[in-house]
Amino acid sequence: MKAELEKVRLLLDRAQPDADEAIKVLNLLAEQGNEHWLIDHFLGIAHMVRASYEKAVVYFETSLIKHAENPHAYLQIAKCFNALSDFEQAERYGKAAIQLDQHLLEAWMFMGEIYQGRSDLEKAIQCFTIANKLDPKNHVIAYKLAGIYSEKGDLKKAMELYDIALHMQPNFEVARAEKDKLYTSFGRKSKPRGGKYIHLCFNHLYAKSLSDMLAFVNEEYDQQHLLFVESHWAIEEYKPDLSSNEHAAWFNHEYDFPAIINRCLDSDVDALFVHGLFFKWQKKLIKEIGSKKHIGWIIWGGDLYNPIKIKEPVVDIVKHIDSIHSLVEGDVEVFKKHYGDRPTFRFGYPYPGLYGDIPEVIESKGRPRIIVGNSGDYSNNHIEILEALRTKKDVRYYDILLPVSYNLLPEYEVAIHKWLKAAGMLGLVKLIKTFIEPDKYRALVDASEMLITAHNRQQAIGNMLLSLYSGNTTVLKKKITVGEKEQMNPTWEMLKKYGLGVSGFEEFRKAPSIRSFLKKAQPQKTRNQQIIMNEFGLETRAKDLVTSCRTIRERVTKKHAMVN
């Protein structure tokens, strides 16, 4: 009998099961007087293949008389009743299967589908969540959960789950198609009077503060702003938390690019904003959108200055840009000089650590600290700053910290280490190569004496504002070199225009000691804090964005009216 049962199992396990042949073998075994419970169980499965669900239930019930503790029989009966549209009985037998074996993955998935079919989505989520714990690497479970969240209207959560399914199974085309549909649906429920706008940003620290600001605008104004953040790391292993903004979602440019393009081109979108212009996907997107939508470029700094520095301005990209957005007037002048005139609007990020819950200041009890630069990028000119520090007679009383968690090339790290060794400063300087979360960076700044930068472009504004807010001496170049020509540093001019007490790197070079240069006066600190909160706070930045979008929408509407 063992051989015959194995033959039946193989017949029923085929891609196209042979139920008729299986039933012949099983009936012959029964006629020979065999009463093993598996005969009835397999007869039940064979009749399920033939869609004879009533007969199948009878055979499964018979098998349970002989072997009552078989959860698989209860599950098959549940499936039969589900096929017969008797959902109450399906639920009853599905629960019985789980009661006998709480680790029966198939039963939890079946019950999830039963509840989803009955529109009891919370219970469906509970079942599939338990299934996920039993088999965390099962891409089908992630896919099923995504579908339920999509049905609930939580498109953001659904996208995240489709991403998980696709990460586990990149060729899961059904999941990719469903995710593409969600991008089309994302943000479509409402039709705000003030218009709809799409923001495209890469995965960076400021994606979080951008998300927070857009959530505030969506809540307080008559505009809707959707945010799509590309998922590849700019800072290794850092992924900002966008959970507080229901209109923010991730995308992968390698797979989701067509869906993002289609969403940007939808008729309900008034304009789109590209945050920074560093990556090929950003440039490709701008070219593909072209003149079909208003495109605003949010200038970061390096995206403007670096192409000019290497004498390769991105003219082919900028010809599709309809407006530029920056707080730094000097950056606008550099743009106009190299690319011509464009409508200009104020835009700045609410800097992390300067809105929301501001951490309590903890005074440092160790050696005084100096922070040098804001990243590992060579444009920080770390060695130029270290050269200036080395000349100070009291430098050995300070710890010098270089936050270099992103954009640090191996050869540049070697160059810094080589210089430190030659200068005898290895024991004074520490390279911080792990990313510092905003609240921890804020605490680090609070516990420091000074921030020194020496970029030849607009950079590190957020770091400088944090330093000024903490009352620290904050150093940057008054003059910079752009395209081999010396000019005033736009960041210096901007901060001075607001009345913030920054110090010139040129003067710092000449100072005999660090201590003589420190200017940590409480009245200046209080004044800095008031200016920063008034001019760079979340509400101020949000108001600038709303005002810009109103003007852009009016111009776009007028342009369309003239064409028609």
pLDDT tens digit sequence for 196-249: 999 999 998 889 999 999 999 999 999 999 999 999 877 766 788 898 899 999
Among 35-39, 319-323, 480-484, the least confident range: 480-484
Please report the pLDDT score of residue 241 as a whole number: 87
Residues 6+ apart with CB under 8 A from 192: 222, 223, 224
Residues 6+ apart with CB under 8 A from 479: 486, 487, 488, 489, 506
> For tokens 């111009």, what's the residue?
555
Instruction: State how far the Cα of 272 lies from the Cα of 295, in Å rounded to an integer.
Output: 5
* β-sheet bridge partners, residue 370: 400, 450
Whether residue 294 is predicted with pLDDT greater than 80 in this model: the reply is yes
Categorize the per-residue pLDDT at 48 as very low, low, confident or very high, splitting at 50, 70 and 90. Answer: very high
Instruction: State how far the Cα of 289 lies from the Cα of 505, in Å rounded to an integer.
Output: 42
- Which DSSP string corresponds to 257-303? HHHHHHHHHSTT--EEEEE---SHHHHHHHHHHGGGSEEEEE--SHH
Question: Could you give the 3-state DSSP secondary structure of residue 480?
Answer: strand
Please report the pLDDT score of residue 99 as a whole number: 96
Whether residue 49 is predicted with pLDDT greater than 80 in this model: the reply is yes
pLDDT tens digit sequence for 381-414: 999 999 999 999 999 999 999 999 888 999 999 9
Please report the pLDDT score of residue 361 as a whole number: 53
Find the helix packing angle between 139-152 and 173-185, rounded to 10°: 20
Instruction: State how far the Cα of 155 lies from the Cα of 160, in Å rounded to an integer.
Output: 9
Tokens of 555: 């111009």
Question: Could you give the 3-state DSSP secondary structure of residue 93?
Answer: helix
- Which DSSP string corresponds to 99-155? HH-TT-HHHHHHHHHHHHHTT-HHHHHHHHHHHHHH-TT-HHHHHHHHHHHHHHT-H
Categorize the per-residue pLDDT at 522 as very low, low, confident or very high, splitting at 50, 70 and 90. Answer: low
Please report the pLDDT score of residue 199 as a whole number: 98
Whether residue 501 is predicted with pLDDT greater than 70 in this model: the reply is yes
* β-sheet bridge partners, residue 275: 298
Whether residue 480 is predicted with pLDDT greater than 60 in this model: the reply is yes
Instruction: State how far the Cα of 176 lies from the Cα of 183, in Å rounded to an integer.
Output: 11
Q: Percent of the chain at pLDDT above 90?
A: 74
Instruction: State how far the Cα of 322 lies from the Cα of 553, in Å rounded to an integer.
Output: 12
Whether residue 359 is predicted with pLDDT greater than 60 in this model: the reply is no
How much is the average pLDDT of 179-208? 90
Whether residue 368 is predicted with pLDDT greater than 80 in this model: the reply is yes
Query: Mean of the per-residue pLDDT values for the chain?
Result: 91
Residue 359 is given by DSSP the state P
Please report the pLDDT score of residue 30 as a whole number: 86
What pTM, to 2 d.p., does this model score? Answer: 0.79
pLDDT tens digit sequence for 457-474: 878 888 999 999 999 999
Whether residue 364 is predicted with pLDDT greater than 70 in this model: the reply is no
* 6-10, 274-278, 444-448, range with greatest mean pLDDT: 274-278
